[in-house]
Chain A
């Protein structure tokens, strides 16, 4: 079993749709969680950190469920510019590393 498993996708949605990605992790010692966005032929860039209480940044909402060991990302009112690959990352501070999911590709169509 992979340490971090992510919805494989791809997700193809129309503009304005709401889409959700999930990511499960196996290391219960994980302490911090992130969503990254990666555009084609570019580097991953931090989209948002995920906090225990859940957090929102505009159209993006991230949730963490420690009991079930999963994180989620909700995108509301999808824009064409949201088309990208979304990677979840789970950080074990004691081990000094982040483990990334394999990414979920989102395509938003007009």
Chain B
């Protein structure tokens, strides 16, 4: 049973295209995240949703639009893809109650923009 799943695993596309990445978690968590990990392996948060509400948007270009139809899903749509968008995108989830909020990551989506 995959706890946090993402599709697709690989995405190769041309500059200017629009693409979506889907994420689902079956852990019953109430918070979900999108991270970008670039070629230097730095892991940077992009968005965070708690109970379908956006709580963090870390100065991400508005070409990136997250959508959370319910607590178990957080999708990422990217318009007008650019070369610099090439990276691995990780979805993660956690439970916001309490102090210890470890995150569980999906397997990642490797996006290559040509």
- A interface residue numbers (CB < 8 A to B): 31-32, 34, 38, 42-46, 49, 85, 87, 89, 91, 93, 95-100, 102-103
A44, closest chain B residue (CB): B105
**Smallest CB separation, B2 vs chain A (Å):** 11
B75 neighbours in A (Cβ, 8 Å): none
A42 neighbours in B (Cβ, 8 Å): 107-108
Give chain A's interface secondary structure class: strand
How many inter-chain contacts with C-beta < 8 Å in the A-B complex? Answer: 57
- B interface residue numbers (CB < 8 A to A): 31, 33, 40-45, 48, 50, 55-56, 90, 94, 96, 99-108
**Smallest CB separation, A28 vs chain B (Å):** 15
Query: With A96-B56, A96-B96, A97-B48 given, is the CB distance from A44 to B101 under 8 Å?
Result: no
When the two chains form their complex, are residues B105 and A45 in contact, meaning their CB atoms are under 8 A apart?
Answer: yes
A49 touches which of B40, B45, B102 (Cβ 8 Å): B102
When the two chains form their complex, are residues A32 and B41 in contact, meaning their CB atoms are under 8 A apart?
Answer: no
When the two chains form their complex, are residues A98 and B101 in contact, meaning their CB atoms are under 8 A apart?
Answer: yes
When the two chains form their complex, are residues A96 and B41 in contact, meaning their CB atoms are under 8 A apart?
Answer: no
B100, closest chain A residue (CB): A32
When the two chains form their complex, are residues B55 and A96 in contact, meaning their CB atoms are under 8 A apart?
Answer: yes
**What separation, in Å, do the CA atoms of A87 and B108 have in the docked complex?**
16
When the two chains form their complex, are residues A85 and B31 in contact, meaning their CB atoms are under 8 A apart?
Answer: no
